Amino acid sequence: MLAAIVFYVFAAILVASAAMVIVARNPVHSVLFLILCFFNAAGLFVLMGAEFLAMILVVVYVGAVAVLFLFVVMMLDVDFVKLREGFARYLPVGAAVGLVLAAELVFVLAPWAFSASVPEAISVPIPDPGEIHNTKAIGLVLYTDYAYLFQAAGLVLLVAMVGAIVLTLRDREGVKRQSIARQVARTRGQGVETVSVKSREGVDV
């Protein structure tokens, strides 16, 4: 009974905050609600006994992705009046896109949910949670049966990272950079020069 109450609390907050993400007028509030959303999703994972996935969700999405997201949204200079100006004009287009997506979701989910082979498909690969905990179970499958797919996912991420760096890297002129190696390698002879100056004559440096 307690688990059911906790489930409904998490699920209600999850759905409500997901709605607030698109309803909130201030984009920063939207991102904060998105974070609340992730957090409650992690709570649901814990309820299902998948605590490893829950923690990874918090570490990756809340701890890193959403931070950078919030970072960018805070830097944006958004004019709220201008943002709401075209609301009526864009409404039909937005509604059409939403409808198409919803229809696609129904087409995908409906046969999956009602197909007779689903229970058999689900019940095969899960080991008994009593004898092996989920972190180990994921590791045993991920690095053996799905090793190639895992590597491929890593490669996709690597390509995305290289792409992002290539797109934003530019050589700027006139930037003074610190070269630690050169600073360390400098000797007294290169930096200091002793000059004996004759009185009333001065010296050219």
Partner 1 sequence: MAEGTFLSMALTGALILGQILLVTVPLLLAVAMLTYAERKVIGAIQLRKGPNVVGPFGLFQPFADALKLLTKETIVPTGANRIVFMMAPMLTLLLSLVAWAVIPFDAGWVIADINVGILYLFAISSLGVYGIIMAGWASNSKYAFLGAMRSAAQMVSYEVSIGFVIITVLLCVGSLNLSDIVNAQKNMWFFIPLFPMFVIFFVSALAETNRSPFDLPEGESEIVAGYFVEYSSMSFAMFFLGEYAAMILMSGMVSILFLGGWLPPFDIAPFNWIPGIVWFALKTALCLFVFLWVRATMPRYRYDQLMRLGWKIFLPFSLFWVVATAGVLMATGWIPR
**Site residues, partner 1 (CB under 8 A):** 2, 26, 28-29, 32, 35, 51-52, 55-56, 58-59, 62-64, 67-68, 70-71, 74, 133, 135, 178, 180
Which of 16, 55 has the CB closer to partner 1? 55
Min. distance of Cβ 164 from partner 1 in angstroms? 15
Which of 64, 83 has the CB closer to partner 1? 64
Min. distance of Cβ 50 from partner 1 in angstroms? 10
Instruction: Please give the distance of CA 190 from its chain centroid, rounded to a whole number.
Output: 49
Rounded to 5 degrees, what angle do the CA atoms 195, 201, 203 make? 40
Which of 14, 33 has the CB closer to partner 1? 33
Min. distance of Cβ 21 from partner 1 in angstroms? 15
CA 84 to each of CA 19, 38, 204: distance values in angstroms, whole numbers, following the listed order: 18, 27, 67
Residue 80 backbone phi and psi in degrees, to 5: -70, -35
- Tell me how far apart the alpha carbons of residues 144 and 124 are, in angstroms, rounded to a whole number: 17
Which of 106, 155 has the CB closer to partner 1? 155
The token duo for 86 is 């075209």
Buried b (16+ CB within 10 A) or exposed e, 84-101: eeeeeeeeeeeeeeeeee
Instruction: Please give the distance of CA 2 from its chain centroid, rounded to a whole number.
Output: 32
Which of 37, 58 has the CB closer to partner 1? 58
Min. distance of Cβ 74 from partner 1 in angstroms? 5
Min. distance of Cβ 22 from partner 1 in angstroms? 19
